[in-house]
A and B are shown apart, each in its own frame.
Chain A
């Protein structure tokens, strides 16, 4: 068991606020770990935040007019532009405070989108906002496909996964491309903070989001958000699947602070990838050979992160 999970067991009740800014009663599926992640992020950021949301599951489930799940100011404009809208929110508020038209107040500007809204259609707006250096936090809730429209593949869908547009066919067995490495793309913008997180590790997630908010300039947090509906997974296994993603090395938890890489939880020995794949229906069709290919790639990628950690360790 990982260190961070142990600390969660010890400190969870004391450290996580009881206040919810993302209210219950929303329309997410049972077992939705993305809604769980959103709830934890909202707890981490508190009430002084303005949220700019992309179109997607979280927008649909939380804002059917005239209802809302948001107890903090929240805006949705379109699919691909959460980072651009957040840029405007941040810039507008900054000027209003500078000109004294709104009283000075510390607040976080949060942009949120799914993996499609981030690594596909929203990557340009995100890159622009990171490059311009707005003081905001961008969170990608990555459930590895277009779940809202009915489980179509995205560039974040992992190799081998069956989706409705990368079906496990007789000739082509599911997704044939490897997952786009969004945290690395964000880090390549030389922004002050990048992190990966997963709601299966709530304290770690909250700590990172708080840090992202505190740091001046753009911060990017990539949250693996298990989707039982899209992953063909029993709903009670959402949290477990997230832990397995981390423990197998499929989704390493790390942060990049001013260019310095750091693992946020030691894993003595990676568990076999198979343990993660076998509980999910989207990987049901995989041959042993494909599983081996995935295992090899996961270790390779994990080693890359390790190398970066080593390379950028304190001098």
Chain B
């Protein structure tokens, strides 16, 4: 078993990237991603990681370089946040369509403007439909494990898709947590060398990224979406294998005191741990409350969600992003459509909160529970979602 070390989550994430023996890291500095790439450049410059560190002139080039790296069959890593993600947006979509298994950590941060360096999920939700596999991490250990997991899944010959690990900026990236490292031999057992289906090489010329005329475009897109949907089985088995090696078993969604609960909170990312404490407090008050934490975001775990909420009367969905002019936050919108036509349709109350890193405490979640119960009684549509804790509203 690996050593347990107290380390900033960013640094342990970089250590996991090192253990994954990546070949190239292309990155451009942006808060709060910086500690990850700073540590990686240290590891490279100190000879602890045999890789090329490519200090590109923009995030657009970070993703473009990663595409080139991956196309020759080398292991690519990059890392960004908010505006950086927006700048590389164009290439993020193309990398998925070209089936290049780049792995990216997204240190989640608000999208401008107003400009803010703090945490929410408005960046990742802007690329929800980009075709990458996407997970949310709850804590430092999950980040560490999922770096290795990401390469395992992304590079699987039946998958060959890029992978985003979402980590809440500052809330996770900048805290010190105990993380159990893997032994290098565990990594080697789990994660084989990257052997691409095709690689750019003169000995066997291939053309990558050709033009898609209307006669072939739709077929190309379906051929991209199918493996993303089907990647779920690879994801499940890669989690199983991970659990068998290090003893931590992950699932597409995690549940906490949810089995007999009338009301379920639904969260993504680091809020899960805070809400679990609110659940404990509410349980002590005799309330029938539980929690569902969404780890796998794309491909969406339809069956797992339907199953997990099948007995619940009320859902309180916590969103960290806005769909301007839309029907609540992205997670709530997805869940409503997932549960459409289900036999037992729960009430869905949606709170958008914690934008740009504003603190949301255990008491806030307890307060949201009360508000949700009142809303359910009223049944008013316009209250289907609420910006929680906003002044002057």
Contacts and interface: CB of A to CB of B under 8 A. Distances in A.
Contact of A60 (B73, B206, B211): B211
Contacts of B193: 101
B141 interface: no
Interface stretch (A9-17, A92-100, A163-171, A172-180): A92-100
Interface stretch (B60-68, B131-139, B238-246, B277-285): B60-68
Contacts of B52: 91-92, 94-95
A307 interface: no
Contacts of B58: 124-125, 128
B5 interface: no
A128 B206 contact: no
A204 interface: no
> Which of A88, A98, A128 has the most B CB atoms < 10 Å from its CB?
A88
A66 B216 contact: yes
Interface string A26-60: 00000000000000000000011110100000011
B10 to A, nearest CB: 23
Nearest to A125: B61
A78 B56 CA distance: 17
A1 to B, nearest CB: 38
Interface in A76-90: 76-78, 80-81, 84-90
B67 A107 contact: no
B67 A85 contact: yes
Contacts of A94: 52
A128 B57 CA distance: 6
A75 B71 contact: yes
Interface string A259-281: 00000000000000000000000
B282 to A, nearest CB: 50
B207 A70 contact: yes
Contacts of A65: 210-213, 216, 220
A63 B209 contact: yes
Nearest to A89: B68
Contact of A87 (B65, B201, B205): B65
B55 interface: yes
B56 A84 contact: yes
B76 A80 contact: no
Most B CB contacts (10 A, CB to CB) among A52, A60, A98, A105 go to A52
A91 B207 contact: no
Contacts of A124: 57-58, 61
Interface stretch (B90-98, B268-276, B295-303): B90-98
Contacts of A60: 211
Contacts of B90: 78
Nearest to A111: B68
Contacts of A87: 26, 54, 56, 61, 64-65, 68
Contact of B73 (A48, A49, A70, A96): A96
A8 interface: no
A75 B205 contact: no
**Chain B interface: which size bin?**
35 or more
Nearest to B22: A95
B65 A91 contact: yes
A78 B90 CA distance: 8
Contacts of A99: 23, 50
Interface string B206-226: 111111110010001000000
A74 interface: yes
B82 interface: no
A70 B216 contact: no
A127 interface: yes
Interface string B66-92: 111111111010000000000000110
A70 B210 CA distance: 11
Contacts of B74: 91-93, 95-96
Contacts of B24: 88, 91-92, 95
A307 to B, nearest CB: 31
A105 B72 CA distance: 14
A50 B61 contact: no
Given A75-B209, A77-B91, A78-B94, A102 B64 contact: no
B212 A52 contact: no
Contacts of A308: none
A89 B72 contact: yes
Contacts of A84: 56, 60-61, 64-65, 68
Nearest to B193: A101
A150 interface: no
Interface in B327-355: none
B325 interface: no
B60 A125 contact: yes
Contacts of A48: 202
Interface string B167-204: 00000000000000000000000000100000011111
A310 interface: no
B51 interface: yes
Nearest to A50: B200
A98 B74 CA distance: 12
14 contacts: A71-B205, A72-B202, A73-B205, A74-B208, A75-B207, A78-B64, A89-B71, A89-B200, A91-B74, A96-B73, A99-B23, A102-B201, A129-B61, A132-B56
For the complex of A and B, 9 pairs with smallest distance between CB atoms: A88-B68, A128-B57, A92-B74, A84-B64, A63-B210, A81-B64, A88-B65, A92-B69, A76-B209
Interface of B: 23-24, 26, 50-52, 54-58, 60-61, 64-74, 76, 90-91, 94-95, 98, 193, 200-213, 216, 220
Interface of A: 47-50, 52, 59-60, 63-68, 70-78, 80-81, 84-96, 98-99, 101-102, 105, 107, 124-125, 127-129, 131-132
Given A65-B211, A87-B56, A125-B60, 11 more contacts: A48-B202, A63-B210, A64-B210, A65-B212, A65-B220, A84-B61, A84-B65, A89-B200, A92-B68, A92-B69, A125-B61
